[in-house]
A and B are shown apart, each in its own frame.
Chain A
Amino acid sequence: AQTVTQSQPEMSVQEAETVTLSCTYDTSESDYYLFWYKQPPSRQMILVIRQEAYKQQNATENRFSVNFQKAAKSFSLKISDSQLGDAAMYFCAYRNIYTGANSKLTFGKGITLSVRP
């Protein structure tokens, strides 16, 4: 079974600085998808970024980028130029390649990020 581990429950960053949120996962599959979701105080889950395991290039979305290390099974999220609105809980998620009954989306326990003004 796949597992997703976010070992740091909380992190803090100064506004305008850069922060990296860690995520590791365990799988025996060679192809899969990884996601970072953001859950602000409103509790609405929002997709931040996604990465396909077959792609060597790290995904980037504006101030958000990932460091995907397939061999190490590591998928960290880097937030550059942190803003107050980035304060939220961030979840790392793993999705296998299957559709139908064998599909599975697994989440980590989340990291609470606070941004200091």
Chain B
Amino acid sequence: DGGITQSPKYLFRKEGQNVTLSCEQNLNHDAMYWYRQDPGQGLRLIYYSQIVNDFQKGDIAEGYSVSREKKESFPLTVTSAQKNPTAFYLCASSLDRVANTEAFFGQGTRLTVV
């Protein structure tokens, strides 16, 4: 089945460690996105990418890094520079060649700093 897969579902990180969240899609979508969801904050854009080897910062990129080496994959690294990383992270993808197409979401990763 076509879809977008995030892993792991739950992730625990010690302070000072970098962690990488995985996002893979087999929908042949051009665009991929990372959002952070906090209670009362809605979805805030971290990074997005429209093509391989290119990506742009979103509204809250500080303390995060991404790569887009393959069309299907858009991993997010939460670095030790991110001061408050505990949150729910959502990855999404869309066709992008047509602007009115919806974004499809993964099931999310819950990151907790311990």
Contacts and interface: CB of A to CB of B under 8 A. Distances in A.
Contact of B105 (A9, A44, A96, A109): A44
Contacts of A28: none
Contacts of B98: 99
B41 interface: yes
Interface string B36-78: 0000111111001011001010000000000000000000000
Contact of A45 (B48, B90, B97, B99): B90
Interface residues of B, number: 28
A43 B88 contact: yes
Interface of B is mostly: strand
B47 to A, nearest CB: 12
A39 B44 CA distance: 15
A75 interface: no
Contacts of B35: 107
B31 A45 contact: no
Contact of B42 (A95, A101, A109): A109
Interface residues of A, number: 26
A99 B99 CA distance: 6
A109 B108 CA distance: 17
A91 B97 CA distance: 23
A42 B99 contact: no
Interface of A: 6, 9, 33, 35, 42-45, 47, 50, 52, 91, 95-101, 103, 105-110
Given A35-B102, A103-B31, A106-B45, 11 more contacts: A9-B40, A33-B100, A43-B88, A97-B99, A99-B96, A100-B50, A100-B51, A101-B54, A103-B99, A105-B33, A105-B45
16 contacts: A45-B90, A47-B102, A50-B100, A50-B102, A91-B43, A95-B99, A99-B96, A99-B99, A100-B96, A103-B31, A105-B45, A105-B94, A106-B45, A108-B42, A109-B41, A110-B43
